Structure 1
Amino acid sequence: MIAQLDWLREMSTVSVLLRLLLAMLFGGLIGLERVRKRRPAGFRTYMLVCMGAALTVILSQYEFYMVTHEWTELAAEIGLRTDVSRFGAQVINGIGFLGAGTIIVTGKQEVKGLTTAAGLWASACMGLAIGAGFYECVALCFALIFLVIRLLPFIETAIIENARNMNIYVEFQSLDDVGEIINRIKSQDVQIYEVEIERGREERSRNPSAIFFIRMNQKQAHTRVLAAISELESVYAIDEI
């Protein structure tokens, strides 16, 4: 702990203002990265989540201070007790409804929004640390969260592109074309270990589709496999998920 920051850990107007401003700043900076990628939760959402979490901890500290000082006699008379951690625990539980709102399952059976939901949860936890005046932890936490959402996607993309496993979504004309698609996939020196087929619905004007879970016998570009399948006349849409 840095001794020079001890005065900022006290319950004073300057300390409270600094904590709320830090929560707005750090939460907003993380949100800016998400809004650049057109994610559901962006700049203002992250800012409000982080600031709200910080305010929750400040409220807990204020209540504890009042019960042990100005409200001591009244608290003893009515048997009032306070737990400074209970508000923070409710933040951790309550942030789930926001995270769940950012997670969607697309028509390709692809789950999206998990990183945004995790970022909101981490932002809330960072707000709790800011509200508690744990400035050393806040600096490390912000740096690591920003590293995860800003730099690591490049590494993740490189790993996925060089992986031998692929999940391919294919939309085609009719179920009679499944055999032709399977043969074309196998001709690319890959193994199919699972297939999920969804029948089309005429009332919704949807064509039948399938998700192929495959493994390449040797390392090759994923685009090569996708291009080979897309050459079939019966294939309307294809994507790696």
Structure 2
Amino acid sequence: MMFDPFIKLGISAVLGLIIGLERELKRKPVGLKTCLVISISSCLLTIVSIESAYVFPLKDHITMDPLRLAAQIVSGVGFLGAGVILRRGNDSITGLTTAAIIWGAAGIGVAVGAGFYWESAFGVALLIVSVELIPFLINFFGPKQLREKEILLQITVADTKNIADVIEKIKLQHIDIKTMRIKDLEDNQHLIKLKAVIDQKRAAADIYYAIRSIDSIVHIDIESG
């Protein structure tokens, strides 16, 4: 069919648009344009790979794998995915979902290019449900560990004898401390670095006001994902 490649490219563009919009709404580094380019390009390379296997005759009846070129898309997209994975100062890793979305957009393009239209549409639907609806449901019905988020606290305490008291009062604010590091500063002040977990629904401002009311605390720095 003469217009079949153009239909495939159009479908891959629409499905890539849906994936890209989800990232764009969350202000992620990989957004609408990136997902569109990945999906359309993957579809185009798949079309070229399949059509080349049957259009160009080979000598000595050697057969050509129609998806050999498309198989290299997975490797190529890996470089893009690695570029959006970041390691922050508190040793937390960000960008893994975005990297997976890049890989998924390429997979959708390959599937559409190979002619699996309904499978591709269903795959996009499952992908959106997986990154949007399921985390929302987990926040309400999932295990406690999945309903918590990690924060990094840096607290300056005025006197050595107040450190233990400050730590106990922080724990009373429903803050589960995982790791702790204490560093001496000038003027008999001490820097306490805490990695802790709190309920997913609690805002950083709420934690700030709860801790700021504790006596002997001079300075607070909160980093929340």
Q: Please state if 1:59 is matched with 2:69.
A: no
State the shift of 1:39 in Å. 0.2
Change (3 A) 1:89 1:29: same
Q: Please state if 1:13 is matched with 2:5.
A: no
- Report the 3-state secondary structure (helix = DSSP H, G, I; strand = E; otherwise coil) of the residue aligned with 2:3: helix
What amino acid does structure 1 have at the position aligned with 2:194?
Answer: A
Q: What corresponds to 2:151 in structure 1?
A: 168
TM-score (norm 1): 0.73
Q: Between the two proteins, what is the percent identity of the paired residues?
A: 29
TM-score (norm 2): 0.77
Count of aligned pairs: 213
Q: What corresponds to 2:187 in structure 1?
A: none
Change (3 A) 1:181 1:107: farther
Q: What corresponds to 2:93 in structure 1?
A: 111
Q: Please state if 1:210 is matched with 2:194.
A: yes
State the shift of 1:88 in Å. 2.2
What amino acid does structure 2 have at the position aligned with 1:120?
Answer: I
User: Deviations along 1:61-85, whole A, 9 cap, x unmatched?
Assistant: 1111124xxx2xxx224x7541123
Q: Please state if 1:37 is matched with 2:26.
A: yes
Q: What corresponds to 2:137 in structure 1?
A: 155
Superposition CA RMSD, Å = 3.4
Structure 2 CA distance for aligned equivalents of residues 36 and 87 of structure 1: 33
Structure 2 CA distance for aligned equivalents of residues 156 and 170 of structure 1: 26
User: Deviations along 1:129-182, whole A, 9 cap, x unmatched?
Assistant: 100011121121121112223333422444689657553310223696764542
What amino acid does structure 2 have at the position aligned with 1:151?
Answer: L
User: Deviations along 1:173-199, whole A, 9 cap, x unmatched?
Assistant: 36967645422233346664x305486
Tell me which of 214, 218, 225 is aligned to 1:234: 218
